[in-house]
Structure 1
Amino acid sequence: MTPTPAVLSVPARPVSDPCGPGYISSLTVADAGRPRRLVLLGATGSIGVSTLKVAAEHPESYRIVGLAGAVNVTLLAEQAAAFRPPVLAVLTGERAAALARLLPAGYRPDILVGPAGYAAMAAMAEADLVVSAIVGAAGLLPTLAAVAAGKIVALANKESLVLAGDLIRTAAAGSGAVILPVDSEHNALFQALGGAALPDLPLVERLVLTASGGPFRATSRAGLEAVTPAMALNHPNWSMGPKISVDSATLMNKGLEVIEACRLYGLPVAQVDVVVHPQSIVHSLVQLHDGSLLAHLGPPDMRVAIAYCLGYPRRLSLSVPRVDLVKLASLTFEAPREEDFPCLGLARQALGSGASHTVALNAANEVAVDLFLKERLAFMDIPAAIAAALDAHSGETLADADAVMDLDVRVRREVADWARAR
């Protein structure tokens, strides 16, 4: 038994924040009596691999109808051979040819190419639910395509909301699409708020996002100056791709999640806090106006959040490690060191400055992280590059996705020039 595409009600109440009203108000999903048909964008990344593990645990409930991967055609071919979707997508024609050669004899799916191919897959009629797990700004256009087509969108690509929150909200309101948050923190908030029975947001005093603190939680400012890519990729709790691992190390990942939380729930940035929680067991908390704190606890395994979205409104059984509170013994919390990790404050600054500033923030961060991984920028040059991009940006009106992507390209070029001049 599986849900059909659902109905999204966007709250009409005004809010004094550039985020506007949130996406999730009331949501009802009826069982349709057939396997839910999934499209997975970003199949070869860590979220994609975990999504397929969840689907494999419940083969009677899910049918994979589309898999997209940008670079790793070997893994994509293995996934395709296991699940036999009728449609695949890759980034280039060369990779499409390589993928076709790797597929088993007798299995000949359609292979779509490039951003247009990803968008076509996301919107195809055969899909009920689209898991958007492409990393970075590249995930925006296929996410928008899925939303415009009225899909249930399990959103792991936080950059879509950072870049184009208003555009996605408008498209969702027009199409009846539903956005279910895959990020562990936002999924935890969704569960703590009651899922389909979300209370009136005026009852919410604040949302509290937890951060592991990354690999450098206890590293001195002097030590941060000497951080290498290998050190930044060594996250203590989570297994993630390189870009997200670096974002976690700089706390930019948490900054992007603050923006995402504001745009999902329509709350002003002043009502979204961040605390460092090294154990990564409490994934987020909601504080209500009577002083109550509602927390979501679970193992640091993304399959928990993924399964909640794939099964919603049902809760799937899952073979993940259980949290043993006695062995754990204690849960600790501390304030983030924002002076030493300025990316969190830069994200708040961008959100308060306007929609185009969050585009500039994200573009600058993606370029700076890429240059750091290539050892062409130092670790602490990442926030410096972002600050320079925000200082240079005077604000723009972004009427559509083309305007968003045009600004994204221009800021990327400016940050690359800034880096070369260092």
Structure 2
Amino acid sequence: MSPSSTSSSDTAGLGRFCLQVALFLAPLVVLAGLFETTFWAAGESWPMARIAAAHEERETLLVRPQYFAQSYLFKFDRVRALKPDVICLGTSRVLQIRDLLFAPGTKFYNGGGMLGSFADIHAYTQAVADGTLPKPKVAIFGIEPWWIKEGLPPANPTWETDSQYADSFYIPEAHIAAMRAFLKKEGLPWPGKLGFACTPAPHSGYLAVGAAALGKGVGFRIDGSYQYDPELIASQFTKPEYQDRETPPVIERLRGNTEQFTPSYDIDHGRFHSMTASFQKLRHLGVQVLVILPPFASECFDYLESKPPAQVWWAKYKTWAPENLTSAGFPCVPPGCPRDYQLEDTTMWDGFHPSEVFMARIIHSLVLKCPEGSPMRGLISPELERLARYAGHPLTLEPNLFKP
């Protein structure tokens, strides 16, 4: 057999093999294409920069994926674009502070979730100092005890290392996991099965991006605050009741000395003074710094007040920390529970997430601690005092959106 005939045979064999592979993969490619089209149509898989851009020129928006990991990354892009006058920073425990509490025309943004550790306070301060993030007039920090209590491991900035700040659009494994979860729950996909991005969400009518926002009406509002389950809000019209919806409940974490409440016998004074130094740096840059030590449900607060041996940090966090922050020129609301504000535990979503009704009172208390003529005094809503007395619903300041 001549070399040329051997070459022709090999080429024909390779062609047949490639055709067989293509035919084998074609259904998988079509199915993957259907998944991706379905996810994209709902805004479920949008990259964070696109989600941030979707806020522009809109008065309402609700953002929450269901099959892709929740990410706070879009908030950084949003802050850069908005350049807020007032920014609220912390964990999910500050997410119920809303733009309703600030004067018309004030650019407010809730950056709850942008900070995940003690080190992120320094990272944010440096980002403002070097211009990576815009300088606000007022920065409200929610400071968690598990950031500054004694005995914690060294803290590193989480923005580039923690999965909650990752953009799932660029992670192939995230797409595969989303396809599996969708197939298990929904069956085969087709465009529109999850809904279409920027159509109204249930109850609120906010334009929605992502399957959870479109289907359940939950997610991040256009001001960065969080909209909880509308069905749960509606249920509270007829039978208001407190339930710790965290898993495991916060009181169990406290009693078991687990998760955020591992044993600790003091505040870490080095961390505290380092945090104060960051606040002083922001003040030097022209930013008014205010501090909230977020509240707990009554059963959790009372447990901490009972002086459990493994939670000795509480006394310092409750009294020493706010006193020292205030004396350093940073108005601070100490940790408390609903009854400190003449409220019931029904104004808590769980053991440590206050509702927007509760947060209206906390912000009002914070404003009263600010000196006359300070930036915060000039940025609050003329309706704040009324909102701080609101008692029409335990969870929402806009009950008309959620009536059963």
TM-score, length-scaled by structure 2: 0.27
From the two aligned structures, give the one with the greater strand fraction.
1
The structure whose Rg is larger is 2
